[in-house]
Amino acid sequence: MARIPLNDLQLEILTWIRDGTPDGVYEDYRPRIVARALHNRGLVDVSGHGKNWRATLTTGGAYHLEHGDYPPSDDDPAATSAPRPRPTARTKPAPASKAVAERKPRKPPRVGPTDAMMNTLTAAEDHRIEVEYGQVQRYRQLALTAGRFKKIPDGMQVTVSSDYPTRTAHVTLELLPEWRTRTLDPIPVPGALRGPSDVIKALGTRDDLDIRAAEKNRALRLVEALVVEARHREYTVVAIPAPRKDRWGYVQRTEENTGHIKITLGPDEYRLSIYQLTEKVEHVATKSELARAVRGYALPKWDYIPTGRLGIRIDNRGVTFWGDSWTDRDDQPLDDALPQILQELELTRPGVSGELLTGVRPLFPTTGGERSRSARPRSG
């Protein structure tokens, strides 16, 4: 019986599993749902749940990626045909069956959606194609996949732009802008806090800095490096006062006390926070919690455990170039991202960002269907 061919998304997920299910490609559970369907077809093996979820390619899955079709099965008439009788001196060999003689050549490997997009962009005269407006999110995901698996030529990028009033969208293969290729000077991080700035002294006394003692010193040293470099560039840097607590002990957060430090570049101010990354682990109930559960109390499902990794984010809303948050990564510590953080602030300044917004998408749409740079708080 003929088996249903894979659609574009299933082929994309099958390729993703072949490459080891790398992080950062998908932001939802859709790959796991598709992987389960591929598991039912014998193309992948799926095991585990939650953090222990795993997916690996089977022999059949590898065959499908190489040949663009399922491997021959026992139900294939050609594969289950009776063996030909051994020729003897008195009998002539039986002629090959017509089905075997007329077997069609194998189909060429099927091109996945990411490769198809890149092939179309490369072949287009201006390396620009128009796509359906409703497919914008899909093509943005394909662009991320192309970058993740290094399918984009060196020195180039794939951007997806859309226009709400006309309901049009385009995908473009273009040269990287100058700010993407600029070599940034590293920002040195002090090995110890000797003679810290007033900003660090203020942060060190805050009891709402939700960072473990083991990582707090490094967090303050990272902030100190930003403060020193920003002031060297003649920017104004101040510590943001800690939020007050009400009479019941709850923190009252407002726009004025958001963030840990405030960096002012001309008329614009930017609020930055440093934080500690956590990982979600399944909660193990204690005896007292189990006793409470018997009386009808709900048990927490997850615990959030601090890791040794830190992050810095920009709390202002608006257009982003590199992004609005940076964290320790396996291939890059947060120390190396400090120059990019200051560059992000400089790129979003009025008069600078307007010339560089090609291919840059705001994080937050404004009313009226248009996407533009959101207003930032003004100092004074």
Burial of 260 (C-beta count, 10 Å sphere; 0-12/13-18/19+): buried
pTM above 0.75, yes or no: no
- Provide the pLDDT for residue 18: 87
- Provide the pLDDT for residue 360: 44
For domain 1-77, give its CATH number from 1.20.58, 1.10.10, 1.20.120, 3.30.750.
1.10.10
- Provide the pLDDT for residue 354: 47
Write down the domain spans for the chain: 1-77, 113-176, 198-369
- Provide the pLDDT for residue 376: 36
- Provide the pLDDT for residue 252: 75
In contact, 77 and 70? CB cutoff 8 Å: no
What are 19-60's pLDDT values in tens digits? 888 777 776 777 888 888 888 888 999 888 777 888 898 988
Angle between helices 8-18 and 30-40 (to 10 degrees): 90
- Identify the three-state secondary structure at position 237: strand
- Provide the pLDDT for residue 251: 73
- Provide the pLDDT for residue 94: 57
Largest CA distance in the chain: 108
Copy the structure tokens of residue 316.
Answer: 């202002």
| Structural Rg of the chain based on CA atoms | 29
What are the distances in angstroms from CA 352 to CA 198, 270, 317, 356? 30, 16, 17, 7
C-alpha 360/C-alpha 322 separation (Å) is 9
Place of tokens 């920003």: 230
- Identify the three-state secondary structure at position 376: coil
Copy the structure tokens of residue 57.
Answer: 């390619």
Sites in the chain below the pLDDT cut of 70: 1-2, 27, 74-109, 350-380
Burial of 270 (C-beta count, 10 Å sphere; 0-12/13-18/19+): buried
Q: How many CB atoms lie within 10 A of CB 183?
A: 5
- Provide the pLDDT for residue 365: 35
